[in-house]
Structure 1
Amino acid sequence: MNTRITLMTILTLLSLFAGAQDEKTAWDNTINKDWPEGFQEAEIQSSVDGTQQKAVFHSSNENEAQPLIVSLHTWSGDYLQKDPLADEILLRGWNYIHPDFRGSNTKPEACGSEKVIPDIEDAIHYAIEHGNVDTTEVHIIGVSGGGYATLLAFMKLDYPVKSFNAWASISNLENWYWECKGRGLKYAGHLEQVTTNGNGFDAAEARKRSPLFASYQSEKRKGASLNIYAGIHDGYTGSVPISHSIDMYNKLIDDMYPEKAGEKISESQAYSLLTKQINPEAEPNAMIGGRQIELRKELPGLTFTLFDGTHEMLVPQALPLIDQSTNSTSKAYNVITIGDSNGTFPYSWTQQLKKLLPFSTLVNRSIAGNTIGFDNLDREELNTLRNINRYLDEAYAELGEEEEFDYLFINLGTNDTKTIFAKRQKEVYDNFETLIGMIRNYMKEHGKTVPTICWVSPSPMDAAKANREKYDGGDQRIQINNKKFEKLAVRDGINFLNTYGVLKPGFENKTEDGVHLKAPAQFRLASEIAKWIDQQ
C-alpha cells in the first residue's frame, strides 16, 4: 500500500484549521465606502451587453502622462469597496480605476464569467479616454478575489498591460470549493451560486472560470510581468492555502519556460512549506516590507514571493513592487537615515523611503529639533556631533552587529538656520565637515565599511507661514548653505542631493507651518532619494 502523504492530503488537513478571511481588514473592508476627495463614480457602457457598469475613477492632475493602476476588488466586494491603495495613488498623482466587473463573486455573471474580462478591459479604455494616462504604464493589482481576477486577466486580457500583481490569490475554484466546504466557509455557498445558481456545485464550470486551467497566450503578454505574492500562514489564518499561488506559478513555468522545469516548486518543498509554515532554508536577512521572505523565485516576466504573513497585501509596498526593474525596487540595501522632525512623522520621508525600497532594511535615527552641531533649545541631545557615535551604535545594534550599511542619508541643516543661530552660519560649515570626519572615524575604529554617504539638502521654508521669531530669514540661509554644502560634499568625497529646487515650486501648498512637509511633499522627497539610488 502506498503510504506517502500527498499534497492533497495536506490541503485537506489544512482545511480543518484554516479560518475565514476577515472582511474588515484594511484591504478587504466591504463596509467602508468612504473614498478620499478626488475619486468619483463613473459609468462605463459594457462592450458585451450594453449595460452600464460602474467604477470608482481618479484622473491624474500632473502635467505629464502618468501610470494607470487598475485595482480589482476582493471576493465579496464591489467597485465601492474602499481601497487602501487610494491614498498611495494620491501621493503619486497617478491615474486609478476600481471597476465593478459584475460585483461580488456570488452570482453567475460575476466570478470569471465571460463578461468579467471585457468589463476590466472596458474600464482600462475608459480611464485612458478620461484620464492623463501613459498607455505604456498600465498595471493591474488585486488581493484575494482581486488576486484571482488579476490572474484571470493575465491569462485572458487583450490589452497590453505592463504588470499584473496578484496577492493571496485563488487559482483553482474547484479545489477552493472543497477547501471552503470542509471548513464551513460561506465561499462554498458563493461558488454554488456562481456555478449552478444555487443548485449544488458544478466542478466543470468552476474549472472553466479558474486561471489554473486557462490557456497561456504568449502573444498577448509580450513585455508583461506577473508578480505572485502569498503569506505563508494563509490557509491557516486565512481562507486561501498557499497551494493556489504555488500551483499557478508552476503552471506558468510549464507554459512560459518549459525548458526550466527545475525552477518549479517541487511537491516535497510545497509539502514542507505547507506543514511547517516556515522555510528552514530561507535566507535570514531577505525581507519584503520588513517581513521575512520564505521563498523567492524570479524569471523574466514572472516572480513568486512567499513571505511571513497571512491572507493579505502589503499595502505600502504594493505599488513600488509593480516595477521591479530598478535598483530601489529590486535590490536589498541596508540604509540608515539621520534627520530632524521631518524624518519623524508616520508619513515622513523616512517612512516613505522605507516603502519605496521594498526589499531593503531601513534604520531611522531622526529626532525632532535635531541640528548638525548646535545645542538647539540648549539641549545636547539635539546636537548630532555630540550624539553621532551613539546613533551609529544603536543603528548597528538594530541592523545586526555583523551587517554593513550600504547607504547613509543625512537630512540636517534646517534647525541650524534658526534665527538664534543666524550669526553662527560659518560654524555650520565646519560642523558639516567635522560630522563627516567623525562618521568615517567611527567606521574605521569599529572595523566597518564606510557606507555611501549622501547629504540630502534641507527643504525650503515658507516665510509667510513659518514662525518669524524662530525662523526669520531661514529660507535665505538654507539656500546659501545648500550651495556651500554641495561644494563641501565634493571636497569631502561624499554625495549631495539637492532636493530644494524640486520642492520649492508651489511650496506654500506643501507645508502647513512653513517648515514641516505635508505627506505628498515627504513622498516627493523620498522619491528623489529612490531615483538617486537607481542612478548609482
Structure 2
Amino acid sequence: MKHYLSLIFCLLSTLALLTSCRKEREEKAVDRMDQYTTTKAYPSKFTDESLEKWKQQVPEIQKISIKSTLDGKEQPALFYTSETTGKRPLLVMLHSWSSEYLQIKSIPFALWSKEYDWAFIHPNYRGKFDNPEAVASDLAIQDIVDAVNYAKQHADIDTSRIYILGSSGGAMTALVAAGRHPEIWAGVVAWVPVFDLVDWYAFSQYYPHRDYNRHVVAACGGEPLPGTAAAAECMRRSPVTYIHNAKDVPIFLAHGTNDVLVPPDHSIRGYNLLANPADTIAQKDIDYILKEQAIPEGMEGATNRDKYFGAKDPKVVFERESANVRLVLFVGVHDMAYNPGLLWLNEQQKKMPPAAPPVAGH
C-alpha cells in the first residue's frame, strides 16, 4: 500500500513540476499575414481537402472527434491549442458550402491562431451542404456549440473572446449560430453570406448548371416555393430568421460588388436589420449596387479605404458601421480576404457580467 501511495505521490509531483515549467501565454500585438491575401489567391481549389497539407503547415493540429449532444453521432473536427498556460481567445472557423472540415483554404486561420496563441477549432458540422443534416440545421448548429464546449474542456478559453468566422455557406451558418446562440460570441465575421435561402434559391434558378439549388432541395425537402413546407424549412435555416437576436453581438459583413454567386444584397439586408434605422441603406441604392455593381455617386459611406484592408486586399468602395454591425463592400467576386476579419476580431471582447459578491459568512 505504501508503495502505491509513494508512486501516486511521485506522479503528482512530476505532473506539478511539468505544469510549473509551462510558459505563460503572452498577449502580443497582431500584424498582417502578408503571405496570405484572399481565398481566391490561395494555392488550392475551394473544395480541396487534405489532412496531410494541414499537418505540413500546422504540425500541432489534431484531428479529433466530438460526440453530438443532440443525436450522439461522432463528428470530426480539427483542433489546435498550444502548451502555454493562461486564458486564450478561441477562433471557430467554418468550412464553406461544398467542402468539409479538412478544407485547405482554412489553414491560414490556424497559422494565425498558432502565431498569436489562440485556440482554433474547425468543425465539420455535418459536412458538405448537400443533405438534410447540413445547411444550418439544428444538428449542424449544435455541432458548432459542441465544438466550442470541446475547446473549453481542452484549453483555457477566454469566454469573453470566442469568435466565429466563415465565408459563403460558412458565413450563413455563422450568422445563424450568432442569432441562435448570441450569448457565446464576442465577434462574428461573415464573408459573402447567403442570408435568405428562399431568395437565393429563386436567384439561382437563373444558373441551372450550378449544384446549389439541388443541394437546397435535398436539405429542405423540396423546392422552396411560396407557401410550401420546403420554403418554411429553408427559412428555419436562414440567418434572416434569427439575426434580430444578435443585435448585441459585434458582426462584420463583407461582400464583393461583383459577386454573381451570392449577390451583395444578402449582406446589405443583414446590415439593415442590425443597424440603427437612420443608418440603413435605401432600397434604391441597393438596386443600383445590384444593377451597376458599383456604389451610387455621393452615397454616404463610399470610400476607397478601410483600416482593416491592406494594399494587397481587395479595394474597398463602401463601409458603414452602425450599432454593433459593420458592412464593407469591396471590388471583387465571391471571395474572402484573410487579414481584415482577423484584425477586426482581435479588437472585439464581450462585456462579461460582474462576478457575484461573496456570500456573508463565507
Correspondences of 1:25-104 after superposition (within 5 Å): 28-33=46-51, 34-35=53-54, 36-82=58-104, 83-84=106-107, 85-104=109-128
2:268 paired residue number: 246
Per-residue deviation, 1:64: 2.7
Do the aligned partners of 2:196 and 2:239 also contact (CA within 8 Å) in 1?
yes
Greater relative contact order structure (CA < 8 Å, 6+ sep): 2
- Give the SS at the match of 2:153: helix
1:283 paired residue number: 303
Change over 3 Å in CA distance of 1:169–1:26 after alignment to 2: farther
| From 220, 234, 237, the counterpart of 1:206 | 234
- Give the SS at the match of 1:128: helix
Q: Radius of gyration: which is bigger?
A: 1
The 2-side partners of 1:183 and 1:120 are apart by 31
Identity in percent: 28
- Give the SS at the match of 1:110: coil
1:189 paired residue number: 214
Matched, 1:310 2:333: yes
Letter in 1 for 2:239: P
The 2-side partners of 1:61 and 1:27 are apart by 32
Deviations 1:232-261 (A, max 9, x none): 1112xxx111011111111223xxxxxx32
| From 149, 153, 163, the counterpart of 2:177 | 153
1:446 paired residue number: none
Letter in 2 for 1:297: R
Do the aligned partners of 1:180 and 1:186 also contact (CA within 8 Å) in 2?
no
Correspondences of 1:102-181 after superposition (within 5 Å): 102-157=126-181, 159-181=183-205
Change over 3 Å in CA distance of 1:135–1:215 after alignment to 2: closer
Letter in 2 for 1:28: F
Aligned residues: 292
The 2-side partners of 1:104 and 1:295 are apart by 32
Do the aligned partners of 1:61 and 1:93 also contact (CA within 8 Å) in 2?
no
Query: Could you tell me the TM-score, scaled by structure 1's length?
Result: 0.51
Q: Give the helix-richer structure, 1 or 2.
A: 1
Query: Could you tell me the TM-score, scaled by structure 2's length?
Result: 0.75
The 2-side partners of 1:289 and 1:52 are apart by 40
The 2-side partners of 1:77 and 1:284 are apart by 33
2:10 paired residue number: none
Per-residue deviation, 1:159: 4.1
Matched, 1:272 2:288: yes
RMSD value, Cα: 2.4
Letter in 2 for 1:143: S
Deviations 1:318-370 (A, max 9, x none): 311214469xxxxxxxxxxxxxxxxxxxxxxxxxxxxxxxxxxxxxxxxxxxx
The 1-side partners of 2:290 and 2:255 are apart by 12
Change over 3 Å in CA distance of 1:24–1:188 after alignment to 2: farther
Deviations 1:103-151 (A, max 9, x none): 1110011112111211111100100111232221110000111101111
- Give the SS at the match of 2:219: helix
